[in-house]
Amino acid sequence: MRQTFGCSRKVITGVQQLFGKEIQLEIEAILLASPDLTATHLEELEKGDTIEIVSKDGDFYKVIVNGVEGWISTESLS
C-alpha cells in the first residue's frame, strides 16, 4: 500500500506506523550514506519517488529506494 505525504507534522508523529511501508515523496531529497548531512550523497531523490522507511536515528530516517539503503533528513518529510 503506497501513501503520499507532503510537508506536515503528521508525518513526523506518525512515522513509526510507517516503518516497513512504502510512501511517495512530495519533495526532493538527498539519499545519504550515513545519518549525517556531510555524508556521501548516494542519490538525488525526486518528487514522486517511492521510499520505504526502515527506522529512525535522531534527525534521519533509514530508507530503501530502488533497492539502495541510505538515509534522509527528517526535514525531507516534515
Q: Tell me the CATH number at 70.
A: 2.30.30.40
Residues 63, 71: contact at Cβ < 8 Å?
A: yes
Task: Give the model confidence (pLDDT) of 6-37 as tens digits.
Answer: 433 344 445 567 788 888 898 999 999 999 99
Q: How far apart are CA 37 and CA 49, in angstroms?
A: 20
How far, in whole angstroms, is CA 2 from its chain's centroid? 14
Residues 19, 54: contact at Cβ < 8 Å?
A: yes
pTM of the model: 0.76
User: Based on the structure, what is the number of domains in the chain?
Assistant: 1
Residue whose entry in the numeric block shows the C-alpha cell 506536515:
8
* pLDDT tier at 78, thresholds 50, 70, 90: low
Structural domain for 26, as ranges: 2-77
